[in-house]
Amino acid sequence: MRHRFLTDLELMVLLATLRVGENAYGIPIARELHDTAGRNVALAVVYATLDRLEHRALVSSSLGEPTPERGGRAKRVFCVTAKGVREARASQRAFSALWRGVLEPSRGMP
């Protein structure tokens, strides 16, 4: 089976989920993307991306406790799986390897 790499958005959502930690659901993940990466992502896009990541077993989700702010509805909380961490690290290695070639002054790049 051919390896399927993460898209830039999938990687960013995965990393934002790791950064948020225990209570990672749509709003804090979107806020982390904005505050840390400067990327504004609609909440619907965050959830669609999380669904794709869950389908690939890179994140898992569970229902949190119901909250009064949500009219008694529970939040869907996400956690990055060990496989998700491995995929994020593989992406980091691939990007680092590519950048090493670009940053070498001997190749005529500034």
How confident is the model at residue 38, as a pLDDT?
A: 94
User: What per-residue string of b and e applies to 68-99 under the rule 16 or more CB within 10 Å gives b?
Assistant: eeeeeeebebbebbeebeebbeebeeeeeeee
Position with higher pLDDT, 71 vs 9: 9
Report if pTM > 0.75: yes
**Residue range(s) defining the domain that contains residue 70:** 8-105
Asked if residue 23 lies in contact with residue 77, where contact means CB atoms within 8 angstroms, the answer is: yes
Q: What's the whole-number mean pLDDT along residues 17-34?
A: 95
Question: How many residues are listed for the chain in this entry?
Answer: 110
Res 1 pLDDT > 60:
no
Res 104 pLDDT > 90:
no
Domain count along the chain: 1
**Does residue 90 fall inside a structural domain?**
yes
CATH of the domain at 63: 1.10.10.10
